Amino acid sequence: MDMKQKYRRILYRSRCPASYIKWLKYRRILYMMLGNGICLLACALYLSFWHRTPDRIKIRAGEREEMNLALPASGMLRASGDKAIPVSLDRTLIFYANEKNSYDLDVKLFGILPLKHVSLQVIDGASVIPAGVPVGIYVKTDGVLVIGTGEFTGFDGVRTSPSESVLKTGDYLLKMNGEDITGKKMFMNTLQKIGDGDLILTIRRGDEVFDVKTVPVQDQAGTYKIGIWIRDNAQGVGTLTYIDGNGGFGALGHGINDMDTSTLMALKKGTLYHTDILGVKKGEAGNPGELTGLIDYGDGNILGSIQRNEDKGIFGVCGEALEAEVPFGPVEIGLKQETEIGPVKILCSLDGETAKLYDAKITDIVYDREHINREIVLQITDRQLIEETGGIIQGMSGAPILQNGKLIGAVTHVFVQDATKGYGIFIEEMLLEE
């Protein structure tokens, strides 16, 4: 800057101090906006890379596996006691291992920023039978589930709430005065015997088990109550995903949650039943459709026993009658890194008799361990399926997803506003243990 320009700037400041201060203020605001924009862009890019990076990678022992994550990241791959190996994720990775083992990989973005811890597991190859047939489901809870608390009018005409600040929605009642609670009916009968004496309840709240105390109160009809609503079972229709070589099965692709509390139901016992599909309610925007089924709970209709209810599905052992309803033979499972955006087949039955393959496509893949039932984003493209159901409907949860002749996952959820779209879970989440 020459002396003339410097003099003019000083003169401008002295003659128009307010305008100059205003200009400086606007410039500061612009710089702040620019800085915030850069920060937001950086955060968005970081989250994008985070979602593209799987938490776990499984490869088959004795097979050459290729993976191309195309990430500007690197890390050190190590097994317990072994020398660490540098790994770059911006190029195709080739894995090969002769035997089962586990490895750890701490991924850093641009080799600097910590991104994600990845577990690499070498597993035996697995084949299962894709099912796609609807089944009736009945589960009994371990204890009784509190689905709500509230007031009622006592015998004296006064509003009361004996369980207020004692019990919460989602609590499981396990014992009453030391006696195991076997169901809702048993609970109500025992409550009448206790009357207005002290009631000691053993409850499970989350992972904690402890005792609480309350006193039943008579309502105006003379029935003893503690002001809670409870549930001890659930039933419905879902789709069987697979049967393995040992007669085990997996279904639904998500857990059975209580409809009122949305909590995963603690399973005491459960049963699969044959179901007759009576009809299909077509899905519409804002109103998901459903398979309407009739379940006969007779012993002659039992297809299997449910042993586990987990976030990733229900699991148990099936009988020969169920295996006879499945029309397909074994197929190899497809791992996450083998799954591609593009065409897939959905295996399901709309009449309860024959499972058929329908066209769909994967539109996105998101690696998110907090939402394992929503890592596959699907869109139904089969015109016949759309005409009959609108797309994905309730009762199709668990329908197998096949790609390149391999079972890669199962349908789990439908988009409420667009029945042609929904989510799925990777089969390795359902089938392979940690």
User: What CATH number is attached to the domain comprising 97?
Assistant: 2.60.40.420
Q: How many CB atoms lie within 10 A of CB 281?
A: 16
Contact in structure between 391 and 322 (CB atoms under 8 Å): no
In a domain, 407, yes or no: yes
> What would the pLDDT profile of 40-52 be if each residue is shown by its tens digit?
887 888 787 777 7
- Residue 110: pLDDT band with limits 50, 70, 90: confident
Q: 211 Cβ partners below 8 Å, 6+ apart?
A: 200, 201, 202, 203
Residue-range definition of the domain harbouring residue 257: 127-138+233-431
Q: Which of 92-101, 103-112, 390-399 has the lowest mean pLDDT?
A: 92-101
Contact in structure between 148 and 168 (CB atoms under 8 Å): no
Q: What is the DSSP letter of 263?
A: P
Identity of the residue numbered 68 = N
Stretch 326-347: mean pLDDT: 90
In a domain, 58, yes or no: yes
* Helix spans in 306-356 (H): 320-325
Residues 156 and 36 in one domain: no
- Residue 80: pLDDT band with limits 50, 70, 90: low
Residues 214 and 80 in one domain: no
Number of domains, the chain: 4
Q: Residue 202: in which H helix or E strand, if any? A: strand 199-205
Percent of the chain predicted with pLDDT > 70 = 92
Identity of the residue numbered 101 = N
Residues 320 and 408 in one domain: yes
Angstrom distances, CA of residue 394 to CA of 177, 189, 250, 287, 390:
41, 36, 17, 11, 11
> HSE on the CB side for 382, CA within 13 Å?
18
Q: 177 Cβ partners below 8 Å, 6+ apart?
A: 190, 194, 198, 199, 200
> What would the pLDDT profile of 362-394 be if each residue is shown by its tens digit?
999 988 777 889 999 999 999 999 999 999 999
How many Å apart are CA 166 and CA 150, to the nearest integer? 12
The confidence score (pLDDT) of residue 45 equals 81
- Residue 5: pLDDT band with limits 50, 70, 90: low
Contact in structure between 426 and 254 (CB atoms under 8 Å): no
The confidence score (pLDDT) of residue 134 equals 92
In a domain, 8, yes or no: no
Residues 132 and 280 in one domain: yes
- Answer with the one of 226, 256, 275 that is the final residue of a domain: 226
Residues 394 and 287 in one domain: yes
In a domain, 6, yes or no: no
DSSP E strands: which ranges in 19-133?
A: 56-60, 65-67, 73-78, 85-88, 93-95, 101-109, 113-123, 127-130
Q: 431 Cβ partners below 8 Å, 6+ apart?
A: 126, 128, 242, 244, 250, 333
pLDDT for 6 beyond 60? no
> HSE on the CB side for 19, CA within 13 Å?
7
Q: Domain holding 173: CATH number?
A: 2.30.42.10
Q: Give me 415's structure tokens.
A: 């988009």
> What would the pLDDT profile of 128-147 be if each residue is shown by its tens digit?
999 999 999 999 998 899 99
pLDDT for 23 beyond 80? no
Residues 291 and 383 in one domain: yes
> What would the pLDDT profile of 282-291 be if each residue is shown by its tens digit?
888 888 888 8
- Residue 126: pLDDT band with limits 50, 70, 90: confident
> What would the pLDDT profile of 208-228 be if each residue is shown by its tens digit?
999 999 999 999 999 999 999
> What would the pLDDT profile of 218-262 be if each residue is shown by its tens digit?
999 999 999 999 999 988 999 999 998 888 999 999 999 888 888
Residues 42 and 58 in one domain: no
Contact in structure between 161 and 227 (CB atoms under 8 Å): yes
> What would the pLDDT profile of 180-216 be if each residue is shown by its tens digit?
999 999 999 999 999 988 999 999 998 899 999 999 9
Q: 331 Cβ partners below 8 Å, 6+ apart?
A: 127, 128, 129, 130, 402, 405, 406, 407
Contact in structure between 288 and 414 (CB atoms under 8 Å): yes
Q: Domain holding 382: CATH number?
A: 2.40.10.120
In a domain, 146, yes or no: no
Residues 47 and 69 in one domain: no
Name the region of 195 (left: φ>0; alpha: ψ -120 to 50; beta: rest): left
Residues 266 and 359 in one domain: yes
pLDDT for 78 beyond 70? yes
Q: What is the mean pLDDT of the chain?
A: 86
CA angle 206, 207, 213 (to 5 degrees): 70
Residues 173 and 65 in one domain: no
Q: 390 Cβ partners below 8 Å, 6+ apart?
A: 282, 283, 284, 289, 419, 420
In a domain, 217, yes or no: yes
- Residue 92: pLDDT band with limits 50, 70, 90: confident
Residues 209 and 332 in one domain: no
In a domain, 176, yes or no: yes
Stretch 346-359: mean pLDDT: 88
In a domain, 2, yes or no: no
The confidence score (pLDDT) of residue 14 equals 54
Residues 213 and 360 in one domain: no
